[in-house]
Amino acid sequence: MNNLQEVWSKRFNHYINEVQKYMRFVFTGHLALVLVFVIGAVGYQYSEWLKVVSDAFPGEWVVAAIVGLILAFSRPVTLLREPDQVYLLPLESKMSYFFNRALNWTFWSQVGLAVVVYIIGIPLLNTVTELSSTFIWLGLAVVVILKYLNVQIEFNYRYCNRGSNTFVDRIVRVVISILTVQAMLSSNFALAIIFVVLLIFYNSSLKRRVKVQPVPYEHFVKLEQNRMMGFYRFANYFTDVPHLRGSIRRRGWLNFVYNLIPYKKENAHNYLVFRTFIRTDDHFYLWVRLTFISGVIAIFVNIPIVIWVVAGALSFATTLQLKYALLSSSDFRMDRLYPIDSNLRKKAVQKVLRIFMVVQAFIVLICAIEQPLFFVPAIVVILISEITFIMSKDPSRE
């Protein structure tokens, strides 16, 4: 393929199809229900807080800080693959077309988050400041411009420096982006323009260096691989991603858990499942993240029904995903060499999940201690987990 337009079109279509294939498993009915309740509860809490917030609250700095951080994280989406380090070398002089398309997609795929966060902050700005609507909406235009510049600068900086010391560049852009948005929200239009001009000059100096540098294929390929691996790990929380291989960590501080299992032949599966769950990052961090979300909702949301629904939905997601992950593994295991009843593995998985879901219920109980009927979310977690394990299909028999 000597036509880079064709290369980009095929890569982009494959990427969109890949994202759509897994995202339809992410945004399922139960997750949509959770999101509706969470967004509604957070919106209600936010509107109630705005009624009592002090006029001295630094709303401009809060909005500027959050938006500035989002603007500075502008990792480029290049869609490069490992073979490109060889096969695209003859087309290196024409790669500007490919990268321009990549940066356009990076900008449009990332600017929405910054715009949404800024718009969410507008009610706060109207409450604690005397900004006119003109300056508020001009601030939105500045946010869009800043996002474009941040995308260009991060790409050019990575190109020039082969990905080294990117945190230095990012810190600089975080500071300048925050100061620019804050200056705009303080009605200091001239100062905001000065900061934008500084970013433009910074980007121009990097562009001049880019023109005399060879394409850092290795860095951009590694960056793209890490980005897609992050997406696959996220999708793996909701459905099985066949080509994903999770990393393993010893986690020696949890070795005491293994001592709870008596040393007997019939406990072989119990020991193996405990070690698999604790040492596999995908399994362990899935439980940690969903437990953390349940705890945060229990602490900060003051609507009991929302806490119950979220706790139940996350308990369902945790149990279903871990059951599937622990029972459907196709990897070779040592227990297959010994005369151990394979049906014991399902009982071992149920035992492990029961223990960790009780721990999740206890954490939610502690987090909801100041809420009305604080014990209900813990009961919901345990009941939904048990029902999910019993009623869901057994992947080991498919």
For residue 368, give its domain range. 252-397
Task: List CB contacts of 170: < 8 A, sequence separation 6 or more.
Answer: 72, 73, 154
| Among the listed residues 60, 67, 68, 72, the one whose alpha carbon sits nearest the alpha carbon of residue 183 | 60
Last residue of one domain, picked from the residues 210, 225, 240: 225
| Mean pLDDT computed over 42-55 | 86
More confident call, 386 vs 345: 386
- Would you state the pLDDT for residue 91? 84
pLDDT tens digits along 95-125: 989 999 999 999 999 999 999 999 999 999 9
The pLDDT tens digits of the residues spanning 180-235 come to 999 999 888 899 999 999 999 999 999 999 988 899 999 999 999 989 888 887 77
**Using 50, 70 and 90 to split pLDDT, how confident is the model at 61?**
very high
Q: What is the pLDDT of residue 156?
A: 95
- Report the DSSP beta bridge partners of residue 280: 248
Q: Are residues 211 and 338 in the same domain?
A: no
Identity of the amino acid at 181: V
DSSP string over 295-359: HHHHHH---HHHHHHHHHHHHHHHHHHHHHHHHS--S--GGGGS---THHHHHHHHHHHHHHHHH
pLDDT, residue 90, reads: 84
Q: Which of 167, 162, 201 is nearest to 72 (CA)?
A: 167
Considering the domain boundaries, does residue 294 fall inside one?
yes
Same domain (yes/no): 324, 392: yes
Percentage of the chain exceeding pLDDT 70: 90
Q: How far apart are CA 185 and CA 192, in angstroms?
A: 9
CA distance 253 to 91: 51
Do the domain assignments include residue 78?
A: yes
The domain total for the chain is: 2
Which residue, of 206, 225, 244, is where some domain finishes? Answer: 225
Please state, in angstroms and rounded to a whole number, the distance separating the CA atoms of residues 280 and 250.
Answer: 9
> What pLDDT is attached to residue 188?
87
Q: Is pLDDT at 247 greater than 90 in this prediction?
A: no
pLDDT in tens, 297-310: 888 877 888 888 88
338 pLDDT exceeds 70? no
Give residue 325's pLDDT band: very low, low, confident or very high (50, 70, 90): confident
Note the pLDDT of residue 194: 94
Same domain, 262 and 114: no
Q: Are 195 and 180 in contact (CB under 8 A)?
A: yes
- Residue among 201, 195, 190 nearest 174 (CA): 195
- Of 225, 244, 261, which closes a domain? 225
Kindly state whether residue 281 falls inside one of the protein's structural domains.
yes
Over the stretch 312-322, which tens digit does the pLDDT of each residue have?
A: 888 988 888 88
Return the residue matching tokens 């303080």. Answer: 186
Q: Do 219 and 98 share a structural domain?
A: yes
The single-letter code of the amino acid at 243 is H
More confidently predicted of 145 and 348:
145
The answer to whether position 38 is within a domain reads no
pTM score: 0.76
Does residue 105 share a domain with residue 178?
yes
User: Between residues 49 and 31, which one has the greater pLDDT?
Assistant: 49
- Tell me, what's the pLDDT at 219? 94
Residue pLDDT, tens place only, 250-296:
777 777 777 777 787 777 777 888 888 888 877 888 888 889 988 88
**Per residue in 122-163, pLDDT tens?**
999 999 888 888 888 889 999 999 999 999 999 999 999 988
In a domain, 36, yes or no: no
221 and 266 in one domain? Answer: no
Q: Taking Cα atoms as reference points, which of 162, 166, 24, 4 lies closest to residue 79?
A: 4
Q: Are residues 180 and 257 in the same domain?
A: no
End-to-end CA distance of the chain: 41
Compute the chain's Rg from CA coordinates. Answer: 25
In terms of C-beta density within 10 A (0-12 exposed, 13-18 middle, 19 or more buried), how is residue 214 classed? exposed
- Is 343 among the domain residues? yes
In a domain, 331, yes or no: yes
- What mean pLDDT value characterizes the chain? 85
Dig out the tokens for 295 from the structure. 């705890």
Residue 210 to residue 201: CA distance in whole angstroms: 14
Q: Are residues 211 and 306 in the same domain?
A: no
| Same structural domain, 149 and 200 | yes
Give the pLDDT band (50/70/90) at residue 365.
very high
- Note whether 284 and 350 are within 8 A (CB): no
- Alpha carbon of residue 279 to chain centroid: 21
Question: Are 270 and 316 part of one and the same domain?
Answer: yes
296 and 163 within one domain: no
Count of CB atoms within 10 A of residue 14's CB? 11
Say yes or no to pLDDT of 1 above 50. no
Is 284 a domain residue?
A: yes
Task: Assess whether 198 and 147 both reside in one domain.
Answer: yes
What residue has token string 């010893």?
250
